[in-house]
């Protein structure tokens, strides 16, 4: 049968046109405009003068950029691997349960995930507030000195990472559970016939077969946590904002507090590049690890 390739191309184009139009309007165009903006001294709204690479070169000597960069890296380190690990452990536990019990436990772990960030903030502020937080009364009973958790640089990032893991691990648990259910039961049966220990079973069967899901979860987490903003913003309101800066918070400060759209765009471009590089690297590393198995 003869194929009319021209006609097919035309149909294909017509079919993808709506997507292309929306994608171009809501993603490509703003991205190009942002890159353009980063070379100007524009305020938050309105045009500016072309300043070349000035907005980029001055980032090198900026304290707030430095803080924001390292805090973001620190936060990613504190949340991505530990978050993935916690979710996997919980998923392994939940998968041993059956029926209603499993549904109930799973629902309990998933519950925090559906909360909006403002509620999460309220809950944890209520728990850890220095003067009235319920955890502080527990500290008092145990004779531990009260700690102003969200007001010290030592505790801030670990605490926010902890809250974030508590908040978001429900989703990762679901992914891991799906992964676990996809492993055929026969493999485990065969292994137990061979008298395989639990640890070996995990190391030789579960871990390698779950690897694609693990890779997916870490990648999602990595991209998500590089873009952290809400929790850090809420928990540092009125506290020590400039010590707790992360990259997106710094973009917000430059754009909406300092009214410097151009400089904010430059940071946004840098973050964009970081996310691209890190996720590509992460993906390649994961593939490499898989091949070696």
Partner 1 sequence: MTNYKVTGSVMLLAGFMSTAAQAEVVVEWWDFLGGGDGVRMKQLIEEFNAEHAGEISIQATTLEWGVPFYTKVQTSVAVGEAPDIMTYHASRIPLAVSQNVLSEITADDWATMGLGEGDFASATWDAVTIDSAQYAVPLDTHPIVLYYNKELLSAAGVLTDDGVPMGMDSLEGFTETMRALQSNGVKFPLGSVTADGNFMFRTIYSLVGQQGGELITDGEFLTGDNAEKLANALAVLQDWTNEGLQSTYTDYPATVALFTSGEAAMMINGVWEVPTMTDLNAAGNLFEWGAVELPMIFDQRATYADSHSFAIPAGDMDPETRAATLEVMSWMLKNSLFWATAGHIPAYAPVTATAEYAAMEPNATYSPLTANMIFDPKSPLAGVAGPIFDVMSTYFVPTLNGEMDPTEAVEEIIIELNDM
Binding site for partner 1 (CB under 8 A): 43-46, 62-64, 129-132, 148, 151-152, 238-243, 253, 256-259
- Work out how close the CB of 218 gets to partner 1 at its nearest, in angstroms, rounded to a whole number: 33
- Provide the minimum distance between the beta carbon of 45 and partner 1 in the complex, in angstroms, as a whole number: 5
Least Å distance between CB 145 and partner 1? 12
Task: Identify which of residues 53 and 256 has a Cβ nearer to partner 1 in the complex.
Answer: 256
CB of 44 to partner 1, least distance (A): 6
Q: In this structure, are residues 128 and 159 in contact, taking their beta carbons and an 8 Å threshold?
A: yes
DSSP letter string, the chain: ----HHHHHHHHHHHHHHHHHHHIIIIIHHHHHHHHHTTB---SSS---B-TTHHHHGGGG-HHHHHHHHHHHHHHHHHHHHHHHHHHHHHHHHHH--HHHHHHHHHHHHGGGGS-HHHHHHHHHHHH-TTT-HHHHHHHHHTPPP--GGGSHHHHHHHHHHHHHHHHHHHHHHHHHHHHHTS-HHHHHHHHHTT--HHHHIIIIIHHHHHHHHHHHHHHHHHHHHT--HHHHHHHTTS-GGGS--HHHHHHIIIIIS--HHHHHHHHHHHHHHHHHHHHHHHHHHHHHHHH-
Assess contact for 163 and 204: CB atoms under 8 A: no
Between 109 and 150, CB nearer to partner 1: 150
Pick the closer one to partner 1 by CB: 240 or 287. Answer: 240
| 63 versus 100: smaller Cβ distance to partner 1 | 63
Nearest approach in angstroms of CB 236 to partner 1 is 9
Least CB distance to partner 1 at residue 243 (A): 5
Quick one: 62 or 223, whose CB is closer to partner 1?
62
Q: Which CB, 62 or 208, lies closer to partner 1? A: 62
Q: Min. distance of Cβ 147 from partner 1 in angstroms?
A: 9
Q: Which lies closer to partner 1 via its Cβ, residue 30 or residue 184?
A: 30
């Amino acid at each position: 049968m003869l194929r009319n390739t021209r006609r097919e191309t035309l149909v294909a184009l017509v079919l993808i046109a709506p997507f292309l139009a929306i994608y171009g309007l809501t993603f490509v165009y703003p991205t190009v405009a942002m890159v353009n903006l980063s070379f100007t001294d524009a305020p938050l709204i309105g045009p500016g003068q072309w300043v070349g690479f000035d907005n980029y070169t001055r980032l090198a000597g900026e304290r707030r950029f430095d803080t924001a960069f390292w805090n973001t890296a620190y936060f990613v380190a504190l949340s991505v691997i530990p978050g993935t690990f916690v979710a996997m452990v919980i998923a392994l536990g939940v998968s041993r349960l059956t029926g209603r019990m499993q549904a109930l436990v799973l629902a309990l772990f998933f519950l925090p995930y559906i909360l909006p960030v403002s509620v999460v903030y309220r809950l944890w502020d209520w728990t850890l507030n220095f003067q009235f937080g319920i955890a502080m009364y527990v500290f008092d009973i145990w004779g531990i000195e009260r700690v102003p958790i969200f007001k010290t640089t030592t505790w801030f990032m670990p605490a926010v990472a902890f809250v974030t893991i508590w908040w978001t691990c429900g989703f990762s648990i679901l992914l891991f559970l799906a992964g676990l259910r996809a492993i055929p039961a026969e493999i485990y049966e065969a292994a137990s016939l061979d008298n395989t220990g639990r640890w070996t079973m995990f190391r030789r069967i579960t871990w390698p077969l779950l690897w694609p899901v693990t890779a997916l979860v870490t990648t999602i987490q990595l991209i998500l946590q590089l873009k952290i903003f809400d929790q850090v913003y809420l928990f540092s309101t009125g506290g020590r904002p400039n010590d707790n800066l992360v990259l997106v918070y710094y973009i917000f400060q430059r754009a909406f507090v300092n009214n410097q759209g151009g400089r904010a765009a430059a940071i946004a471009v840098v973050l964009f590049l970081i996310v691209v590089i890190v996720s590509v690297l992460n993906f390649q590393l994961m593939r490499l690890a898989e091949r070696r198995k």
